[in-house]
């Protein structure tokens, strides 16, 4: 498996499986002198951890990270930072009953075709358990971005066919509303409808998909490197590398295809704090940040693991009925726990872009 790293200068490499002894991440390219502790990482991991609400997986993982290298006297040294998270609640027994079946919506089939083997214990390397490593790396990236004042927010935009209503809250209320929400939703009215829909799907043995929106304030202009390191291109790759993702858009996204140029074009101003009157582009032009807020969305499919019986076949091609064994633990809507992961991937992409931007131009002295 040759594609476990992401980033150019700020580069992360994750390792480990869902039901292995541990998972972790190695971070290259973090500048020296940045204050960093286990606490910084663990605060971020708490937001992603399962078992905290009825609307996420009941798997009880404390997700306590330990930094093993790259730190001296509570500051980064410039050496690789290695972070490890030991798996505590990894009961593999339920998976023994279904190891010979192709699980609908899962990676058993494609992994086996490609590698000739598949770790069926919770999905192995294909499991969303790996995303804890990304959140840990995002905590380090956040420390790099602190001086720039960049603020990354991610939240539930929709679950199923229920959308948030932007008229019910203001931009400066989003952060607090997310913290007070059990599903990272900034609109309390829509949150109640979403929770009812999740509970109904769960009772029916089914699942729901959702859309996570990210919003980045205090963006500097000039981040992103054309042609192949465009900011939105790297964001797209970052987001679409996550499990269960099925779509990415920035600014107006797919709705832009229904607009006219006169509607979509953002008129410029002479205010460098707000360079354009509108922000249909979503904060980038030509792959480079404009200084306007960065806004985009990521679509997540419904959780593949559901209680309903499903038709499938075994590895010998014999038709079978697939049913999750007793003791299986899954999210009724994966988009909820994906919110902190989307935030982390934004931070990782932006930290890399900030470091790359130092190479862009020598200022005249």
The DSSP secondary structure of 105-116, one letter per residue, reads TSSHHHHHHHHS
- What is residue 364's predicted lDDT score, i.e. its pLDDT? 47
- What is residue 365's predicted lDDT score, i.e. its pLDDT? 45
Indicate whether 331 pLDDT > 70.
yes
H-helix or E-strand spanning residue 246: strand 245-250
176 band by pLDDT with thresholds 50, 70 and 90: very high
End-to-end CA distance of the chain: 48
CATH class of 5-357: alpha beta
Kindly report whether the global pTM for this prediction surpasses the value 0.85.
yes
Q: Poorest-confidence range of 83-92, 272-281, 303-312, 317-326?
A: 83-92
- What is residue 108's predicted lDDT score, i.e. its pLDDT? 94
What's the mean per-residue pLDDT of the chain? 94
How many angstroms separate the Cα of 273 from the Cα of each of 223, 228, 296? 16, 27, 20
Rounded distance between C-alpha atoms, residue 289 and residue 282, angstroms: 9
Indicate whether 124 pLDDT > 80.
yes
Of 38, 43, 45, 50, give the one whose Cα is nearest residue 83: 38
Indicate whether 362 pLDDT > 70.
no
Q: 201-256 pLDDT, tens per residue?
A: 999 999 999 999 999 999 999 999 999 999 999 999 999 999 999 999 999 999 99
- Average pLDDT (105-113) is 95
Cβ(358)–Cβ(16) under 8 Å?
Answer: no
Q: Poorest-confidence range of 42-51, 107-116, 336-345?
A: 42-51
With a CB cutoff of 8 Å and minimum separation 6, the contacts of 15 are: 4, 23, 24, 25, 26, 133
- What is residue 25's predicted lDDT score, i.e. its pLDDT? 98
Q: 64-102 pLDDT, tens per residue?
A: 999 999 999 999 999 999 999 999 866 677 788 899 999
Measure CA 115 to chain center.
Answer: 26
Burial of 257 (0-12, 13-18, 19+ CB in 10 A): exposed
């Amino acid at each position: 498996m040759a594609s476990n790293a992401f980033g150019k200068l700020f580069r992360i490499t994750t390792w480990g499986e869902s039901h292995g002894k541990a998972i972790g991440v190695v971070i290259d390219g973090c500048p020296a002198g940045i204050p960093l502790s286990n606490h910084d990482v663990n605060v971020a991991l708490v937001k992603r951890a399962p078992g905290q609400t009825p609307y996420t997986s009941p798997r009880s993982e404390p997700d306590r990270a330990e930094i093993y290298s790259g730190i001296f006297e509570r500051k980064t040294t410039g050496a690789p930072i290695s972070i490890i998270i030991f798996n505590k609640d990894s009961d593999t027994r339920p998976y023994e009953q279904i190891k010979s079946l192709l699980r609908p919506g899962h990676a058993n089939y494609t992994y086996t075709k490609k590698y000739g083997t598949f770790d069926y214990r919770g999905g192995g390397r294909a499991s969303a358990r790996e995303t804890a490593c990304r959140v840990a790396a995002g905590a380090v990236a956040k420390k790099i971005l602190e001086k720039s004042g960049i603020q990354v927010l991610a939240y539930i935009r929709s679950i199923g066919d229920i959308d948030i209503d932007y008229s019910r809250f203001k931009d400066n209320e989003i952060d607090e509303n997310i913290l007070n929400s059990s599903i990272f939703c900034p609109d309390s009215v829509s949150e109640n409808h979403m929770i009812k829909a999740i509970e109904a799907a769960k009772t029916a043995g089914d699942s729901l998909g959702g859309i996570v929106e990210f919003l980045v304030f205090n963006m500097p202009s000039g981040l992103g490197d054309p042609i192949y390191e465009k900011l939105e291109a790297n964001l797209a790759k970052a987001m679409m590398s996550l499990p269960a993702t099925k779509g990415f858009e920035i600014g107006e996204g797919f709705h832009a295809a229904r607009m006219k140029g006169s509607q979509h074009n953002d008129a410029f101003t002479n205010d460098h704090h707000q360079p354009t009157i509108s922000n249909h582009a979503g904060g980038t032009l030509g792959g480079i940040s404009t200084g306007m807020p960065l806004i985009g969305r990521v679509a997540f499919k419904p959780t593949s693991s559901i209680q309903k019986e499903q038709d499938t076949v075994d590895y010998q091609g014999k038709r079978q009925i697939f049913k999750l064994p007793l003791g299986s633990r899954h999210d009724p809507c994966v988009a909820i726990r994906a919110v902190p992961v989307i935030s982390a991937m934004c931070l990782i992409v932006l930290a890399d872009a900030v470091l790359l931007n130092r190479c862009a131009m020598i200022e005249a002295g």
